[in-house]
Amino acid sequence: MATIIYQRKPLFDSSMVEMNEWDWKLFPETEAFLSGQIRSYLDGNRYAEMVRGEIENITSTRFIDWVDSLEIPDNIVSDQDLLRLGYVKASVISATGDVYVHDGGTFFPIVLRPDMEYRLSLKVDDLAHFLAANHLSHRTLGEKNAPLRSAELNREGSYSFQAVERRGSGPFDLHEATDISEYSAALNLLSSRKRTFDDDVNGLKDLNDMITGFADSLSPPRLADAFFRAERNYWQTKNKAGKVQFKRQELLGLGWANHDHHTYRCSRENFGDIISFFERMGLKRRERFFAGPQAGWGAQVMEHPVSGQVVFADVDLGPEEGHTDLVGRKLEPLEKLGTVGLWVSLHGESVLGSGMHHLAVRSEFMGMRAELKTRNVSSMAPFSDFDFLKQSFTEAEHWFPPKERVERLLGAGYVTDVQASRFMEHGAIGSHLEIVQRNRGFKGFNQDSVSAVIRMTDPDRRSGIGA
């Protein structure tokens, strides 16, 4: 792989902003340009075209969502063309050309090369596993658990095709691997950490202490990568839809490199501490959701500016709390639990025992829903169905909450005897897989639709078994 040292400019500041200050735009011309460039590249590399077909047919995902970066000759497109398409030139020291990134959309980086070479990089979770799954024995650059590993899969003329694995590196970071043992230890510890505690406050303290223990030896992007890898694996153990789709993607050794966002449900009492916890790993606050005085919930979107993980953290809110700083103060309990608060009270904080409410993955929307249905995984009605954004949950995984949690809710008057009995006998809505398709580079969320699906995933909703 070419030696490129890349430092991306900060995408966000840490101040709270209203959603309308994050006006995520549509870039149809940029999408058309990139689709055309990929098509042109695939016409020049038959092996990459074969891999594209396998990915799309076997996994019901789109090849474009697995592209890590594309390098093209600078006589194909000018820097002015890329600037017009919304790209900006990054500060790099590059052996291959100038790097351009698109912070306003979901588009991959472009490298303009002064020669006539092309290179497309495919992103995968684990490079060694990808090579083994596809019966390949190519030389790998980079050590196991290094920030960046790559392998050239084939070359046809001037068209090079490679796979890359990133563990906390940005689009073109290439660092000397000096923290592999520390990263490996963090990943192992986070994957096997204790998640169930008598008191969630003690659990959060234990998690914070664990993160603090690695803060001096791991950079925030590396720590975040280890954390979210462990989180996806834990969520998957509790979600049938996740197991089924992961198996489809693992047939090609791709893993969850197509993740879109990670959703955490939070209690009011611990919301500020949980956001601060994510910030300690380098995530920055993006838009904040407030669905209106009657909706009863809000959310903070966060993104890591280097490694790109996105978090959607939701919480119960009172009617007057939509325009206040939710992180800088303690949120006192409300008289009545909303959808998010009831879920957390039944199952626990998402960063602890319950795990994520859902993992969202990029997909070919209709195809994934249809193929999962043939595998006995049904989907709920789409809650976003626009040209630029399609979203749907798989049917809920039902969990049986611990008896002591239900009794605590009953004793506090938050649930009735009938509700408590139903939770104990039939369980309550637990987790989902979210199927997402983003078009035209749209990077945001549809607030009205998210509000509707929050209501649809209330643990006390009477549809399905025990819902």
Q: Mind listing the pLDDT tens digit for each residue in 190-218?
A: 999 999 998 899 999 999 999 999 988 99
Query: What is the spatial distance between Cα 398 and Cα 405, in angstroms, rounded to a whole number?
Result: 16
Which tokens sit at 77? 């497109």
What does the pLDDT look like over 242-254, one tens digit per residue?
Answer: 999 999 999 999 9
pLDDT band at 8 (very low <50, low <70, confident <90, very high): very low
Query: What is the spatial distance between Cα 59 and Cα 95, in angstroms, rounded to a whole number?
Result: 35
The whole-number pLDDT of residue 92 equals: 63
Contact 306, 247 (CB under 8 A): no
The whole-number pLDDT of residue 448 equals: 59
Q: Tell me which H or E stretch contains 285.
A: strand 284-290
The whole-number pLDDT of residue 454 equals: 54
Query: What is the spatial distance between Cα 67 and Cα 171, in angstroms, rounded to a whole number?
Result: 11
The whole-number pLDDT of residue 123 equals: 97
Query: What is the spatial distance between Cα 137 and Cα 195, in angstroms, rounded to a whole number?
Result: 39
Mean per-residue pLDDT over the chain, rounded: 89
Contact 340, 316 (CB under 8 A): yes
Which are the contacts of 283, defined by CB distance < 8 A and separation ≥ 6?
224, 302, 303, 304, 309, 311
Lowest mean pLDDT among 9-18, 49-58, 351-360, 440-449: 9-18
pLDDT band at 457 (very low <50, low <70, confident <90, very high): low
Contact 313, 230 (CB under 8 A): no
What are the residue ranges of helices labelled H in 216-307?
220-237, 240-250, 271-280
Query: How is 37-82 classified by DSSP, letter by letter?
Result: HHHHHHHH-HHHHHHHHHHHHHHS--GGGGEEEEEEETTTS-HHHH
The structural domains of the chain, ordered by start, are 4-166 (3.10.180), 198-456 (3.10.180.50)
User: Using alpha carbons only, what angle is made at residue 419 by residues 359 and 204, rounded to the nearest 5 degrees?
Assistant: 45
Query: What is the spatial distance between Cα 223 and Cα 231, in angstroms, rounded to a whole number?
Result: 12
Does the pLDDT value for residue 21 go beyond 60?
Answer: no
Higher-confidence residue: 383 or 435? 435
The whole-number pLDDT of residue 236 equals: 97
Burial string for 381-403 (b: 16+ CB within 10 Å, else e) reads: ebbbeeebbbbbbbbbbbbbbee
Which residue type sits at 135? Answer: H
Query: What is the spatial distance between Cα 298 and Cα 295, in angstroms, rounded to a whole number?
Result: 8
What does the pLDDT look like over 355-391, one tens digit per residue?
Answer: 999 999 999 999 999 999 999 999 999 989 999 999 9
Q: What is the dihedral of CA 207, 211, 213, 219, to 10 degrees?
A: 170
Query: What is the spatial distance between Cα 419 and Cα 77, in angstroms, rounded to a whole number?
Result: 62
Contact 2, 148 (CB under 8 A): no
Q: Which among 277, 172, 146, 165 is positioned nearest to 220, based on CA atoms?
A: 277
Q: Record the pTM.
A: 0.91
Angle between helices 180-191 and 220-237 (to 10 degrees): 30
Q: Which among 297, 407, 305, 286 is positioned nearest to 357, based on CA atoms?
A: 297
290 φ, ψ (degrees, to nearest 5): -140, 115
